[in-house]
A and B are shown apart, each in its own frame.
Chain A
Amino acid sequence: MDETTAFALEGQKDATGARLGMWLFILSEILLFGGLFVLYSAYRYKNPVDFHHASRELDVILGTFNTIILLTSSLSMAASISALQRGQGKLSMVLLAATMALGFLFLVNKGFEWGMKIEHGLYPNSPILLARAKGEILFFGLYYVMTGLHGLHVLVGVCVLCGMAMLIAKDKMNQMHFIPLENAGLYWHLVDIIWIFLYPLFYLIS
C-alpha cells in the first residue's frame, strides 16, 4: 500500500466516523423528543376530548404551510450537498441560502402563530388558560414546550447552515472536503422528521 492510498483510506475512515458520531447525536435527540412524545400520548390517552377541543384552536392552514416549508427546505439542503460534491460551490451556497431562508420563514410563521395564541390569552399559566379544562391546559403546555424546543432546533440549524455557507465561501469546504456540510444536512433532516410527527399530533386531532 503506497502512501497516497493509505492517506485516502484514512480520510475515508474519518468520513464514516464523523457520520457515525453525528448519527449517535441524532439518536440521542430522537430520545429527547421521544420522552416528550410519550408524555404527550399519556396525557392524550387520559384527556382525549380536551385534546380534541384544544387542537381545534390551532391554525391548520398555517401548520400545513409550515410542513411544506420544512419539507422543501430538506430538498434544498440535500441538493446543496450534492451540488458541493459535484464541485458546484456557488450553486451549493445558493441552495444553502434557500434552506436558511425557508427555515427563517418557518420561524416567522411560528412566531405569528404563538403571537396570536398569546394575544388570545393562551400562554402557560395565563388566567384564561388556567380557567379551562385540565386536558386543555396540558395540551397547550405540551404545544409550547414541544414546538418551542423544535423551533429552537430550527434556529440552531439556521445558524449552523450560516457557518457552513461561510466555510464554502472561504473554500474551507469544497468537492474534496464536505463532511461538515453532510453532517449539518443530517441535523437539518432530523429537525424535519420531528416536525413530520408534531404536525398531525398537534394540528390534526379529530
Chain B
Amino acid sequence: MKPQEEIRKTRYKTYALVWMILVILTGMTLSVAGMELGGWTVLIALAIAGTKSGLVLNYFMHLRSEKLLIFRVIIPLVMAVFLVFILLTFSDLAFRGGVK
C-alpha cells in the first residue's frame, strides 16, 4: 500500500513547483541557444533536457516512489541499450574514412 499512499500525498503544490522549474529551464535552454558557445551549446541543451525529463519522470510519473526493484532496473537497462546504439553508430561514422 505504501507507494499508493505516497503518491496520493503528493500535493498540487509540488506539481506546481515542478512545473515552474520546468518553465524556467525552458527559458534557460532558449537563452543558452542565443549565446555563442560553439560545441557546448548542444551539450548544455541536452543536459537541460535531461534534467527536465528527470523532473517529469520522478515527479509527474512518480518514478521516485516506485518501490519495486524492477522499476529501478528496466529504465537504466533501456538507457544502456540506447547508449550502445549511439556508441556503435558514432564509432561507425568516425572510422568510415574516405566514404562520405
Contacts and interface: CB of A to CB of B under 8 A. Distances in A.
Interface of A: 12, 15-16, 19-20, 23-24, 27, 30-31, 34-35, 38, 41-42, 45-46, 60, 64, 67-68, 71-72, 74-75, 77-79, 82, 85-86, 185-186, 189-190, 192-193, 196-197, 199-201, 204-206
Closest 4 interchain pairs by CB?
A204-B33, A200-B45, A75-B19, A27-B78
B49 A196 contact: yes
Q: Chain B interface residue count: which class?
A: 35 or more
Contacts of B42: 200, 205
Contact of B71 (A23, A71, A200): A23
Given A38-B86, A45-B90, A197 B53 contact: yes
Contact of B74 (A27, A60, A74, A82): A27
Contact of A45 (B4, B16, B41, B93): B93
Contacts of B48: 200
B17 to A, nearest CB: 10
Among A27, A68, A78, A186: residue with most chain B CB under 10 A:
A78
Contacts of A201: 45
Main secondary structure of the interface of B (DSSP, over half): helix
Contact of B56 (A12, A24, A192): A192
Contacts of A197: 46, 49, 53
Interface in B20-63: 22-23, 26, 29-30, 33-37, 41-42, 45-46, 48-49, 52-53, 56-57, 59-61
Contacts of A15: 4
Nearest to A204: B33
Contacts of B70: 20
Contacts of A189: 56-57, 60-61
Contacts of B30: 60, 64, 204
Contacts of A67: 26
A34 B81 CA distance: 10
Nearest to A16: B68
A90 B82 CA distance: 41
Contact of A75 (B16, B57, B74): B16
Contacts of A41: 86, 89-90
Contact of B60 (A35, A42, A78): A78
A24 B53 contact: no
Contacts of A71: 19, 22-23, 26
Among A20, A34, A196: residue with most chain B CB under 10 A:
A196
Interface string B59-100: 111000010101100110010011001100110010000001
